[in-house]
Structure 1
């Protein structure tokens, strides 16, 4: 059902793939009647290239400096972003900036602090000329689809699932500092990304939904990094067989492949979407040129895809539901083995106790958020459930429409009544089930969800307290089929009935009544409303000439998620308080990290105060003696002392900048990794003045608790030294090599200054 090409490929007239083999040019010339574009010319015919060219300000398509048309953030990111921009002189939002409130919207944790953040957002929207979407009105990405997306446009969001490619909008999710740059008139700087074609052919069979297609693709491309940091461009005759809602449901999950962004060819289905949403002028026909070259090709036969399930604890841990049911105990045994890696063996984990009479029983179903809460998903689920009951046992079903306009239409067409009479609960627009702040299951319970992620703790369990539940990702249709069977895992292809496919009518009356829209007009007289939890960023020092780093955490998991670096869930309430949030850093992965980092930070604080770091951190004295035996010039006035972590491949998942900033707040100067899982996380490190060191795979020359000397690091960054000699400090100095990867001149300056805030104060 999924084929990955070993080479790049040409796409001719949008329908024929010619692999980039030795005879590709001859095949092209034969197909085109004697003339064929070069590979370089054909690469400029992708949709992605055209959009990036229109938004690039550098004049050099190899090194892009992009300015976005619109920005969007939610209530666990916009406070930090605006606070950072304010510290750098923000006076007005230069482009439309939408502040939604869909993560901490329950205002259920931490007293007043969630609603304090919301009022901060409202007053900032008034002061700086933005848009404020109150809690429960829409999840961030659905509002963007309904009200912001436009053909050929680019949107930057501070949430990793910022994906509107199905609507012809190239959207990217990044950490907050990248939005700060846009707010300050700066640019998003990247090397021209590769573009991978996703060629869709055939048509999905009844019961197969967008999550099934998405999981099949994720399962095929995640582990091998096939689309990592590239743009996925959806083409082929199968696209026109999919509704707009179906395309959106596939598109939002492209984030889980670790791609940079996505874009789709557009047609009458997307034209109709914009017409339904009263914005017909935003439609733009997009298609690749007559001959387009892609750096890779993912061939997807939609007709062969069957209902899928991503087992704990990653969206790429995929099987067909039929395969799972046919090989239940073997697959559950494999899941247990993988879980022990994800959970570090800290708690016992099994799903074998869910097997009843040879079938897998689940305790919870959730259809929610930017992936599951779409109109078509919920209507199809209701059709499967009509006349059924979810039963009076442990199994529960919650449905969260992605926006109030969707909710209103479901009420008008009777879908809500159909769902509620089965025993399901229909709730307001909320992202909580996706990041561990809503519908937390019981200990040892198993939840199936049409949401975006199933990492450990994303369902709300706390491993450090011995609490563990788990999530499998599924499509809304198979969740409904399972609910109709009272919790016994069932593929939607077993449903023999029909689907109504009611017409969607968008009514934005509630937005007109409740959403504050400044229309881009700032009012500098508005006073920002602060709550007691909203704190400024602490002062951060510039990079010293020489660094002494202590390794305070060592992680050898194949991939480390941002959820493990800084947990989601209830900790999200503290994201407006840098010091308060930092207390949770690595708390679920390495609870000793915070104390160790703080201890090392005492030395740097002593340096900043002009006192002796050796008195603040006595264990540093023998380290300095060893260093000065070889480097006598290293000492007072030219050193920085801080912490670092090693992880094999950190940064998968969320765009949250706090995965890096919390380390910085605790005195972190660097990460050391074999590779970084996403561009987002590496950019977050850089924007917080942290060195994104790379080390070759193999036995490490240091261990947890070791000290590392990086002499002349400031000069190395300034002079673009490709390889940096560092030393593990023991009885002597043991050299090893670090690299920093590609850095723009601005990124180097940010690191040298200590963080983006300092960089923007350079005048």
Structure 2
């Protein structure tokens, strides 16, 4: 049972109680105790944070290092870990994935970083095992950077925020609200961490209850959860759209850190008496039950009991959403999976930073004991999160038991989480203990008529389903003994023998290793005096994910080549976006050359533009609510290198995507809720005096939209934009800003 309390609460006598307003007691929360220690400068409501360490994987680190190098990077000022768990299928894209890995190792040598070779660990498990500590803060270029269960505040942001830290600048954000997550009770038989997480996402995502806030977990229920259980809930807080998370720490955390060779990293964290919170989520763990998240979002939560009572109704709703979203390009026929009243699936996956925990896999083995996955269409694959965990599974007989039951073991790889491994068949249904089930996230391509669905479920119910050879089954309905307690171990020597530990040992003379696909960023222009924006895409979906803006999967092989990757932008959502954006880019090139084509002349006349020499032409993307999901900066940078100058929406789904737009010099315009946007692809939006207004810090931007039906007056908004953000928008992008700074310093 989950209950939401939207008013402020205070801890009084160790119990939360409603109060009129949060007040100064917010400083007594664990979150603000940590934030204050990492803040630089006066405490004036705007935080300027520096992080203890940074972490990236091989989809993002090449672009980050290239950007930082172009901005004046000399050496990594804090520990920066480069992991290799995304572009690890080196058969995809020829040599270019392994070329990226060679670049990453050479960058670690040159700038003094730590490098984790491919298939050693997924990014977040390595951070848990080797980096997390109570009271620390870690910034990662992956949205699931969440280590709150270990007392570490993790923040997942786009690559430019990593660049700022590498250049000794701060992460700037308005002081966030803190929401208390009060846990009581003990989870019942068959209920795992993903069940808790899915129920939480279902309760708070759609209403924005946790958006851009910090979730602080406390209460007597915490002590009833083993560490892997806490970690499994914590990593999924990203799907609530919160900024970060933090948990109270206890002897279980101390034991975890001791096992992992870092007992000194433990400090007891707890909210102080009188700690005030802006809102509260109460979770009675004892009243939860096995859950499923329907396609196409982790917040589409339903109990397995309800789903299995009438699967046809729920699946027809999913089919309807797919038809609305994909407009007939692909058909999803999930009701075909209901056979004799039972829901049948073709695939199970337990993987990565959420599913691949030791406890989840051991519990799955206990459920499958004496059974098997069958010889039909159903298959079950397990992806352990790290080599040390895999060694534990081997030493304790868990891996052998699962292999004997027909389960497949795969490398330490994030592939199933973003469409680069175990892609289901067309119209198939997969059950997964992974982080996301967004459209195409599992690797299908609706534009090519290929579409499948993913139900997110806990590893326990996935194992119960596997024992029934693909008939979806709740773990609560299976009578199985819990795995026998084992003494957890950690062989850190695995990393000692394979990981390159270069922090503090930079070798500036060492060369960077470039492959043929690793390209520099193209020149990005500064903001013009006036803007003429041509609409390149209009997305009316309630939410647009970053996976739709730049698809994951095999396209990730091109992450190190900005122009090549940009050719995939919106390819699975709006395949005409790229040619439209390039056509607009050609208009700007013609304008700069002084040869104004007839099309532009007619637009100039219709909109009464006095001087085209002052007008910058670029493309604009309209979406109702863009940017849910991944922190990948490429969702914005791909638009930018194609000449994109702005996004227009009613609200941004996440702070991190809005930050990516700003860091790449794209104006994050919004419309007032209820304002109609009548534009279509090809229409022109004229924003006069834009540079002057951004410089002044104006929030309202009068604009004119030219459509086939005439000219429409609109008011665009640029709200809550800091001086630093306006500077980035004016110079055109983060790299331009730092280049200008470096030039000024050299002149001095």
Q: TM-score, normalised by structure 1?
A: 0.95
Residue 579 (structure 1) aligns with: 563
Among candidates 713, 727, 734, match of residue 735 of structure 1: 713
| Structure 1 counterpart of 2:627 | 651
Give 1:520 deviation, angstroms.
Answer: 2.0
Say yes or no: does 1:691 pair with 2:674.
no
Q: Determine the structure 1 residue equivalent to 2:514.
A: 530
Q: Which residue of 2 aligns with 1:4?
A: 4
Alignment of 1:94-105 (within 5 A): 94-105=77-88
Query: 1:91, CA displacement in angstroms?
Result: 0.7
Residue-by-residue CA offset, 1:486-516 (whole Å, 9 max, x unaligned): 1100111122121123221111121011000
CA distance in 1, matches of 2:335, 2:642: 41
Per-residue CA distance 1:128-163 (angstroms, 9 max, x = gap): 000000001000000000000011000000000000
1:238 is paired with a residue of what secondary structure? Answer: helix
Q: Of 688, 696, 716, which aligns to 1:711?
A: 688
- Are residues 1:752 and 2:730 paired? yes
Distance apart, 1:18 and its partner CA = 1.3
Q: Is the aligned partner of 1:204 residue 2:187?
A: yes
Q: Does 1:20 align with 2:19?
A: yes
Show the counterpart of 2:594.
612
Question: CA separation in 2, counterparts of 1:61 and 1:495?
Answer: 55
Residue of structure 1 in register with 2:644 after alignment: 668
Name the Cα RMSD after superposition: 1.2
Kept in 2, the 8 Å contact 1:159–1:656? The answer is: yes
Q: Deviation at 1:341?
A: 3.3
Partner of 1:678: 654
Residue 761 of structure 1 aligns to a residue whose secondary structure is helix
Q: CA deviation at 1:445?
A: 1.0
**1:611 CA displacement:** 1.1
Q: Where do 1:247-396 residues align within 5 Å?
A: 247-396=230-379
1:496 maps onto 2:479 in alignment: yes
Deviations 1:185-219 (CA, angstroms, capped at 9, x unpaired): 11100000010111100000121110000000000
Match of 1:34 in 2: none
Match of 2:65 among 49, 59, 82: 82
Hey, what does 1:723 align to over in structure 2?
700
Matched, 1:539 2:523: yes
Matching residue within 474, 479, 493 for 1:509: 493
Check 1:332–1:548 CA distance in 2 against 1; reply closer, same or farther (3 A cut): same
CA distance in 2 between counterparts of 1:141 and 1:345 reads 38
Q: What corresponds to 1:626 in structure 2?
A: 606
Shift of 1:365: 0.4
Equivalents in 2 of 1:519, 1:593: separation in Å?
Answer: 42
Cα offset, 1:614, TM superposition: 1.6
SS in 2 for 1:443: coil
Q: Return the alpha-carbon distance in structure 2 between the equivalents of residues 329 and 590 of structure 1.
A: 30
1:162 aligns with 2:138: no
2:547 alignment partner in structure 1:
563
Q: Which moved more, 1:514-523 or 1:95-104?
A: 514-523
Deviation at 1:703? 2.9
Call closer, same or farther: CA 1:613–1:751 in 2, change over 3 Å: farther
Determine the structure 1 residue equivalent to 2:456. Answer: 473
Which secondary structure state, in structure 2, belongs to the residue aligned with residue 614 of structure 1? coil
Q: Deviations over 1:82-103 (max 9, x none)?
A: 0000001111000000000000
Q: What residue in structure 1 maps to residue 128 of structure 2? A: 145
Equivalent in the alignment of 2:174: 191
Distance between the aligned counterparts of 2:271 and 2:424, measured in 1? 45
Q: 735-744 or 567-576: which moved more? A: 735-744
DSSP-derived class of the 1:598 partner: helix
**In structure 2, C-alpha distance between the alignment counterparts of 1:315 and 1:307, rounded to whole Å:** 14
Query: What per-residue deviation string (whole Å, max 9, x for no partner) do you get for residues 649-705 of structure 1?
Result: 000000010000000000000000000000010000000000000002332143332
Distance 1:679 1:144 in 2: 23
Distance (Å, rounded) in 2 between the aligned partners of 1:557 and 1:68 = 36
Kindly provide the CA deviation profile for residues 264-284 of structure 1, in whole angstroms up to 9, marking residues without a partner as x.
111111011101101000111
Output aligned runs, 1:61-72, within 5 Å. 61-72=44-55
Contact 1:99 1:131 in 2 (8 A): yes
Measure how far apart 1:355 and its partner are: 1.1
What is the CA-CA distance between 1:11 and the residue it aligns to?
2.2
The CA deviation at 1:732 is 6.7
Instruction: Mark the CA change 1:342 to 1:292 in structure 2 (over 3 Å): closer, same or farther.
Output: farther
Aligned length in residues: 738
Q: Secondary structure at the match of 1:291?
A: coil
Give the C-alpha shift of residue 8 in structure 1. Answer: 1.9
3-state SS of paired residue (1:309): strand
SS of structure 2 residue aligned to 1:727: strand
**TM superposition shift of 1:605:** 2.3
Asked if the contact 1:178–1:188 (Cα under 8 Å) also holds between the matched residues in 2, the reply is yes
Contact 1:602 1:613 in 2 (8 A): no
Give CA deviations for 1:276-307 in whole Å, capped at 9, x if unaligned. 10100011111101011111111100001101
SS in 1 for 2:133: coil
1:369 CA displacement: 0.3
Q: Deviations over 1:524-574 (max 9, x none)?
A: 121110000000000010000100001111011000000100000000000
Q: Does 1:406 align with 2:395?
A: no
8 Å CA contact 1:249, 1:371 repeated in 2: yes
Q: What residue is the counterpart of 1:35 in the other structure?
A: none
Q: Work out the CA distance in 2 between the residues paired with 1:148 and 1:611.
A: 52
Distance 1:724 1:389, change over 3 A: same
Q: Partners in 1 of 2:89 and 2:538 — Cα distance?
A: 36
Q: Is the 8 A contact 2:8 2:22 kept in 1?
A: no
SS in 1 for 2:28: coil
Q: Distance in 2 between matches of 1:641 and 1:416?
A: 58
Cα deviations across residues 224-274 of structure 1 (Å, max 9, x unaligned)? 000000000001110111011100000000000000000011111101110
Gapped regions of structure 2 (runs ≥ 5): none
CA contact (8 A) 1:379 1:501 kept: no
Alpha-carbon deviation of 1:718? 0.3
- Is 2:96 aligned against 1:118? no
Residue 599 of structure 1 is matched in structure 2 by 583
Residue 200 of structure 1 contacts residue 238 of structure 1 at CA under 8 Å; is this kept in 2?
yes
CA distance in 1, matches of 2:332, 2:711: 43
Q: Does 1:181 align with 2:158?
A: no
Structure 1 unaligned segments of length 5 or more: list them. 22-37
User: For residues 431-510 of structure 1, what are the structure 2 equivalents within 5 Å?
Assistant: 431-499=414-482, 500-510=484-494
| Matches of 2:348 and 2:404, distance apart in 1 | 16
